[in-house]
Amino acid sequence: MANRFGNVLKNVQNHAVAVLAIAVVLMLLVPVSGKILDVLMICNVAFSLIVLLLVLYTPKASDFSSFPRVILFGTIFGLALNVCSTRFILGNGYVGFDSFSGDMIKSFASIVAGSDTIIGMVIFVILIIIQVIVITKGATRVSEVAARFALDSMNPKMFAVDAEVNSGAITDEEAREKKAAIQRESDFYSAMDGSSKFVSGNVKAGIFITIINLVAGMIIAILRHDMDPGAAFETYTKLTIGDGLLSQLPSLLLSFATGVLVTGSNSTEVLGEQIKKQFTISGYVYMIAGGVLVLMSILFHGSIGLVALLIGIGAFSLYFGYKMLQKQENSFKEKLALEQAEKNKNQTGANPDDVSPVVPLDALSLELGYALIPLVDKEKGAELLERVSRIRREEALDLGLVVPKIRIIDNMTLDPNEYCFKIRGIEAGRSKIKPGYYMCMNTGSVTEELNGEQTFDPAFGVPAIWVSEDHRGDAERAGYAVVDPPTIIATHLTEIIKSHAAEILGRQEVSAIINKIKETNPVVVDEVLTTYKYTYGEIEKVLQGLLKEQVSIRNIVTILETLANYGMYPHNPWVLIEKVREALGLQICLQYVDADKKLSVIQLSQSASEKILQHSVNPNDGGQPFVAFDPVDGRRWIDAVSSSIAAVRERNYLPIILCASEVRYLVHSSIDREMPGTAVISINEVMAAGHNINLEILGEINV
C-alpha cells in the first residue's frame, strides 16, 4: 500500500508543473471569482518571496540552474493574474470600493491610499518608477554583462582545465567535472540574460494594464452604470492602486532576486555568511563610525532629541567595535598560544620520531643519477661545477638576473644516467645522457652520416646520435656538432633558466637588485619606493613580465625611471610592462635584427587588432588580461597566425609580429601556448628604436 501511494505521489510530482502551466494559460481566458483571485494573489506573493529567499541561501548562482525557467513561469503567472484582476475590476468595480469583493486588492489599496487617494496615487507612481528605473533596469543590465563575461571567459577556463590535465594536477574525471561546471555556468548566465527581459517586459505590461484599469473602468462605470464621475474616479483609482501593487510586488521580488543572484560571487558561502565575515574584518571601522556620529551630535546641539539619537547610535557603534577588537585580540592570543604549544611539543619531544624538521626548498637544484656523480667530483675535474658557475655569470650579463646558487645533489630514485633540474622543488626539466659518449647533431653541414644511437638534444629538441670517444674525430670531420656530457647539461640548464627566468625571480631577488641600484642611483629608488609607494610585489610583476618574453632587465635604472614616470597613475602591472617595454624599445629591437640592423616582421592588420580589442577581457581583480574568442574565431585566429609564421620560417626569418601597443600583450598571451618562442613587439617599441634599425614588413596577418 505504501509503495502504491509513493508511486502515485511521484507521478503527481512529475506532472504537477505541466498541469500548473496549462492552468496558468487557462487563467488568461476563464474568469475567476473574487475569493479564488485572492487565493491566487496570495500564492503569487508567496511564490516570489520563496524564490527570493532561495536565492539568498544559494552560494553559487549556477547552483540555482532552474532559476531562468522559474522566472519565466512566475512572469506568465503574474500576467495571467493581471488579466483576471482587470476583468474582475472592470466587471465589478461599479458597486463601489466598500462593496467590492476582492479583499486582497482592497487591502493593498487601503495600505497605500488610505483616506487620501491623490497621495496614494503619487506613492504608487513613485514605487513604479523605482521598480522600472532602478531595480528592473539594473538587474537586466547586470544579467547582460554577466552573460557576456561568462561566454568570453569560457574558452580560457576550458584551456586552463586542459593545462591542469596535461600537467597531471587533476585526473580526466575531475577535468570532465570541471568542464561540465564551466558549461553549466555559461548556459545559466546565457539563459539569465533572456529571462531578465521577461521580468522587464512584465513590469511594462503591468504599467499598461494599470492605466487600462483606471481609464476603462471609469468609462464603463460612468456610461454603462451611471456612476458619479467623482465616485468612479475614487473607486477605480483605489482599485487600480491595489491591483497594481499586487502585480508589481511579486515582480519587484523577482527582479531583486535576479539582481542578487547574478551579482553574487563563486563563493561556497551563502550571502549571510559572506556579509558576516566581511563586515567583521576590523572593529576599528565601527569605532571610527561611532566617533563620527558622536562628533556630529555637537553640530546639531539645537535639537535635544536628535543629539540623543546620534549619541545613542554612536555609543552603540563604539561599544560594538570595542567588543569586536577584544574578540579579535583574544582569538589572536589563542592562536599564538596553540602555535607556541605545537612548537614546544616538536622541540621538546622525548622521542626523536616526534621531531618534525622543516626542510626549506632550494631556489634551484640539479639532481643527478649516481652514474653522473663523477661530473661534479673535484678529484675528477668537476667539469660540471665550472660550467654551472659560468652559467650564473652569463645569465647575469644576458638577462640581468642574478641566478641563485644551484644546489647539486645526488638522487638515488633517478635512473643512473638521468638528471633533473628543479625550481623551488618543482621539476622544470630532465633528460638522460651517456657518460663516455658524445652527442652529435647535424646542423646542416654534415658531409657523411654516421651510425649511432638515436636521441634528441634536450635543450632544443634537435635529432642527434650518440657516438663513443673512439669515433669523436670521425664525427667532427663529417661536419657534426659534437657536444660532451657536461656541455649537454650546461646548455640544457641555460635554456631552462632563460625560459623560467620569471619564475626564478622572487621578491628577495628584487630586493637585492633594488639595494644594489640604490648605492649608485638613490634618487630614482627613493622616488619609486617612497614617493609613489611601489611595493616589491608590483616591481616583481613588471620584471617577471619582461623576463617571461626574454627581455633583459639589466637596464634596471631605465625600468625604475619609467615606473616613476607613471607612478601617479594606478599601478596596473600589465600597463606598466608595456610602458617599460617602450622605454627599452631599442634594446628589444636589437635582439631581433640581423647583421645589417634590419628588423623583419609580420604586421598585424588593423581589422585583426580591432577584433582582438573587442574580445579582450580585463579582470576586475587586476588579473592578467586575455582574449576571449569563441571557438570558431579562436581557431581562425590561430590558423591565420600559424600560417603567416610558417611562411616566414620557410624564408629562414625569425617569427616576429608587429602590432599596436594596445594589443601587444593580448596577441602574445593568445598565441604563447600554441606558438611558443614567437616574438611580439609593438609599433611604439620600433618607434623608440628610431633610425638605429631598418624595418622590413614580410607580410600581414588578417583574420
The 3 state secondary structure assigned to 207-240 is HHHHHHHHHHHHHHHHHHHCCCHHHHHHHHHHHH
Look up residue 353 and give its DSSP letter: G
Do residues 671 and 703 make contact, with C-beta atoms less than 8 angstroms apart? Answer: no
Reported pTM? 0.50
More confident residue, 22 or 611: 611
Instruction: Give me the pLDDT at residue 413, please.
Output: 85
Identify the band that residue 561 occupies on the pLDDT scale cut at 50, 70 and 90.
very high
Q: What is the pLDDT of residue 347?
A: 44
More confident residue, 480 or 123: 480
Q: Which helix (H) or strand (E) holds 432?
A: strand 426-432
Encode pLDDT of 237-254 as tens digits: 777 777 777 777 777 777
Q: Per residue in 99-110, pLDDT tens?
A: 677 777 777 777
Q: What is the location of CATH 3.40.50.12790 in the chain?
A: 585-703
| Per-residue model confidence (pLDDT) at position 147 | 63
pLDDT band of residue 575 (cuts 50, 70, 90) is very high
Closest CA to 407 of 360, 456, 468, 473: 360
- Between the alpha carbon of residue 634 and those of residues 148, 293, 703, the distances in Å are 16, 56, 10
CB 634 within 8 A of CB 700: no
SS3 367: strand
Q: Residue 45 and residue 31: Cα distance in Å, rounded?
A: 20
| The residue to which cell 614588413 is assigned | 697
Instruction: Give the pLDDT band (50/70/90) at residue 354.
Output: very low
For CATH 3.40.30.60, the residue range(s) in the chain are 364-499
**Lowest-pLDDT range, 266-275, 395-404, 431-440, 494-503?**
266-275
Residue 602, pLDDT above cutoff 90 = yes
At residue 348, the pLDDT reads 42
Between the alpha carbon of residue 81 and those of residues 30, 36, 200, the distances in Å are: 11, 11, 17
Domain with CATH 1.10.8.540 in the chain: 505-583
CA dihedral for 239, 240, 243, 245, sign (positive or negative): negative
Instruction: Judge whether residue 352 has pLDDT over 60.
Output: no
The whole-angstrom separation of Cα 591 and Cα 577 is 18
Q: For residue 607, which phi and psi values (nearest 5 degrees)?
A: -65, -40
Cα distance between residue 483 and residue 487, in whole Å:
6
Which residue spans within 461-578 are E strands per DSSP?
463-468, 481-483
Residue among 504, 476, 473, 683 nearest 581 (CA) = 683
For 77, 375, 385, 421, the CA distances from 404, given in Å and listed in that order, are 69, 21, 14, 14
Cell triple for 356: 618534525
Q: Which pLDDT belongs to residue 107?
A: 75
Q: Which residue has the higher pLDDT, 583 or 132?
A: 583
Note the pLDDT of residue 687. 93
* Measured distance CA(505)–CA(547) in Å, rounded: 9
Q: Who wins on pLDDT, 178 or 6?
A: 178
Instruction: Give mean pLDDT, residues 311-335.
Output: 80
From CA 159, how far away is CA 179, in angstroms rounded? 10
Question: Does position 75 have pLDDT exceeding 80, yes or no?
Answer: no
pLDDT confidence of residue 378: 64
pLDDT for 350 equals 43
**Dist CA 93 CA 95 (whole Å):** 5
CA 211 to CA 256: how far, in whole Å? Answer: 24
Task: State the pLDDT confidence band at 7, using cuts at 50, 70 and 90.
Answer: low
Residues comprising the chain, all counted? 703
Residues 6+ apart with CB under 8 A from 499: none
355 pLDDT band, cuts 50/70/90, is: very low
Mean pLDDT of 588-599: 91
User: How many Cα atoms within 13 Å fall on the side-chain side of residue 118?
Assistant: 1
Please check the confidence at residue 91 and state whether its pLDDT lies above 90: no
Mean pLDDT of 130-135: 68
* Cα separation, 122 vs 396, whole angstroms: 76
Mean pLDDT check: name the lowest of 69-83, 97-111, 513-527, 552-566: 97-111
Domain 364-499 CATH superfamily? FHIPEP family, domain 1 (3.40.30.60)
- Which pLDDT tens digit goes with each residue over 524-539? 999 999 999 999 999 9
Q: Which three cell numbers stand for residue 186?
A: 555559461
Cell numbers representing residue 558 in the block: 631605465
Q: Return the higher-pLDDT residue of 591 and 6.
A: 591
pLDDT for 346 equals 45
Check: CB of residue 365 under 8 Å from CB of residue 421.
Answer: yes
Q: Please, is 150 exposed, middle or buried when counting C-beta atoms within 10 Å of its C-beta (0-12, 13-18, 19+)?
A: buried
pLDDT at 166 over 60: no
Which tens digit of pLDDT belongs to each residue from 437-490?
999 988 778 888 888 888 988 888 888 999 988 888 888 888 888 888 888 888
Amino acid (one-letter) located at 304: I
Compute the average pLDDT of residues 195-216: 70
Q: Give the homologous superfamily in CATH for domain 505-583.
A: FHIPEP family, domain 3 (1.10.8.540)
Whether the per-residue pLDDT at 5 is higher than 70: the answer is no
Between strands 598-604 and 656-659, the pairing is parallel
- The CATH class given to the 585-703 domain equals alpha beta
User: At what angle are helices 606-614 and 661-671 packed, to 10 degrees?
Assistant: 70
pLDDT-based confidence at residue 351 (cuts at 50, 70, 90): very low
609: confidence class by pLDDT, cuts 50, 70, 90 = very high
Mean pLDDT of the chain: 79
Q: Which residue has the higher pLDDT, 164 or 651?
A: 651
